[in-house]
Structure 1
């Protein structure tokens, strides 16, 4: 069996167990590609309510939960915790990136599907993860790169987890995704098309290969390796007929 078939089987088993036993069941964190597999199963699993959460409104990696208060008579709670990782002494800290924090976690032998999004703000990281893994991280993680760190489980709604947006405005010839990405990422149209072919582009939480899709207000899109963006609105036109677009970049 392929990994995709194994995952689909696991998701079907979780749905059946929730339905048969009247209990909430939850997957581990699913990547965007794995969420696309879940979408393929929706018609087959229509007999049970399903909901996705990554712990924050804009998290890409998400857990699917099966069941609802209407079906079971009691509310469920997604098994998601947040670990804050900080340098012990900030002035002696390395400049730490998303890759550095993820690498340190993988070095502990932690499975990737037990960890959700990693938000890095300056030299502090916030790790969405399963509660059991949160305790393990706090106990075992003492160093990231060459920096000694301390870990603490924090609330999922602390202000530091709110996204920071930076607006970018520029003219484009069309609202097509490939045209906007080429300008936004400062690359050629050919390079932008390659991003779609390599399945690195998502639109509103789903991998898309439709480079000709027209973006509209509120669309959230991301490019693996380049970041996440929101199409905010269309402005005026240039003298040459190009369209001013306003894009918010998550930083």
Structure 2
């Protein structure tokens, strides 16, 4: 059996340790049963915690899949090293929800809320792609039938619902609002204040209340230094990307270009 304590001794954060331990429990089950096990849907940071540890374990192999190439939320399929897993055997599936609604009328939050309203947990649901008149929902395959049978409305709209193949998933491009500004330092509170048009003091209080993630990692330090390309998620407000860091101005401030996802 594997030595879970030895493999995780470097992880001090309780939530991070919980994710990795859940994954290692799946590994133990694979080694005992010689079967296939799948994790919950993880964000990129949680995936990055698990992969280096999985790479240290003999006699298993794994796949990280989310239904399409650039999926944000993905599962780890763990199986004996002598096995091969085809796409048809992936334990996740996709559902198409369509109806008489436009993209601006229903958002990602509306579809996620409708699915969670069926009593499902967030970690069992992958990405939700939203377009004009439809949305694609990726979920654990065992739950797809349940969603098909029970999801009848999203917000006020009646819907049609059907299974689809991953090849039929819609291509969605994110829309951005470009914000140009300058900051005295590349601190988290400064960039968030510029990106969302709020004061640093107000932003700092929210950061201290565990409302912010940088590249999916929880950060509660207003002074945290950001780098070009960082993705910042602000609970209740949205997401921004520190797209470009330019030269300093005459007043010794950094010119920045921020993309706010809309």
Shared fold (TM-score, shorter chain, > 0.5): yes
Q: CA deviation at 1:148?
A: 0.9
Partner of 1:233: 244
Find the counterpart in structure 1 of residue 123 from structure 2. Answer: 113
For the residue of structure 1 that corresponds to 2:173, the secondary structure is coil
Residue-by-residue CA offset, 1:155-177 (whole Å, 9 max, x unaligned): 44557343324233222221112
Is 1:62 the counterpart of 2:74 in the alignment? yes
> Normalising by the residue count of structure 1, what TM-score does the alignment of the two structures yield?
0.76
Q: Output aligned runs, 1:1-251, within 5 Å.
A: 10-30=22-42, 35=46, 39=49, 46-47=56-57, 52-56=64-68, 59-67=71-79, 71-75=81-85, 77=87, 78-87=90-99, 89-90=100-101, 95-156=105-166, 160-166=170-176, 167-251=178-262
Do the aligned partners of 1:15 and 1:45 also contact (CA within 8 Å) in 2?
no
In structure 1, C-alpha distance between the alignment counterparts of 2:255 and 2:187, rounded to whole Å: 13
State the Cα distance separating 1:180 from its structure 2 match. Answer: 0.2
How far apart, in 1, do the equivalents of 2:113 and 2:56 lie?
A: 38
Report the count of equivalent residues: 243
1:65 counterpart SS class: strand
Can you give the 5+ residue segments of structure 2 that lack an aligned partner in the other structure? 1-13
The gaps in structure 1 that reach 5 residues or longer are none
Rounded to whole Å, the distance in 2 between the matches of 1:208 and 1:157 is 36
Sort the Cα spacing of 1:40 and 1:160 in 2 relative to 1 into closer, same or farther, 3 A.
closer
TM-score (norm 2): 0.73
Q: Distance in 2 between matches of 1:236 and 1:7?
A: 40
Question: Which is worse superposed, 119-128 or 197-206?
Answer: 119-128
Distance apart, 1:53 and its partner CA:
4.1
SS in structure 1 at match of 2:225: coil
Alignment partner of 1:102: what SS?
helix
